[in-house]
Amino acid sequence: GGAAMAAVQDVEIDPEGTFKYILVRLQRPGGEEQRDIVRGTKAAEFHNHIFEKVNPEMEKLGYECKCLGGGKIDHNSKDKKIRVFGLSTGYGKADHSVTVEILKKVYTDYEITWSDDKK
């Protein structure tokens, strides 16, 4: 139940730079329990590369994954700022305001903003 879901990190993003990210909803098959997580990395050329990595990891833990959309994250660890923007061609635009709330749980002392800007 809750323990396994709690073991999944809310956020896994690169410590620095600008990169693609996706917002993913985890759900227990047939269950009410669900939560949203943020994943992003420079290693991903396309948004689906991130999903293709996350999905099997989460299936092993017994979750169904759904990509709620994507965008980009600009992570400036020196100034403690994160900017969320852009969209995913394949998945559409994530609700960046939701992404920001999730990021705030982890990066508590950061200034975190979002916009619909493309770059």
**CB-based contact 57:27 (threshold 8 Å):** no
Asked whether residue 5 is domain-assigned, the answer is no
pLDDT of res. 118: 87
Torsion of CA 116, 44, 17, 83, to 10 degrees: 20
Asked whether residue 1 is domain-assigned, the answer is no
Tell me the per-residue pLDDT of 17-55, one tens digit each, with 9 for 90 and over: 999 999 999 998 888 889 999 999 999 999 999 999 999
Just list the catalytic residues. 47
Tokens 């690169």, residue located: 14
Q: Is 60 annotated as a binding residue?
A: no
Range of the domain at 78: 11-115
DSSP code at position 95: -
Tell me the per-residue pLDDT of 55-98, one tens digit each, with 9 for 90 and over: 999 999 999 999 999 999 999 999 999 999 999 999 999 999 99
What CATH number should be reported for the domain holding residue 17? 3.50.20.20
Asked whether residue 97 is domain-assigned, the answer is yes
pLDDT of res. 2: 60
pLDDT of res. 43: 97
Asked whether residue 3 is domain-assigned, the answer is no
Count how many domains the chain has: 1
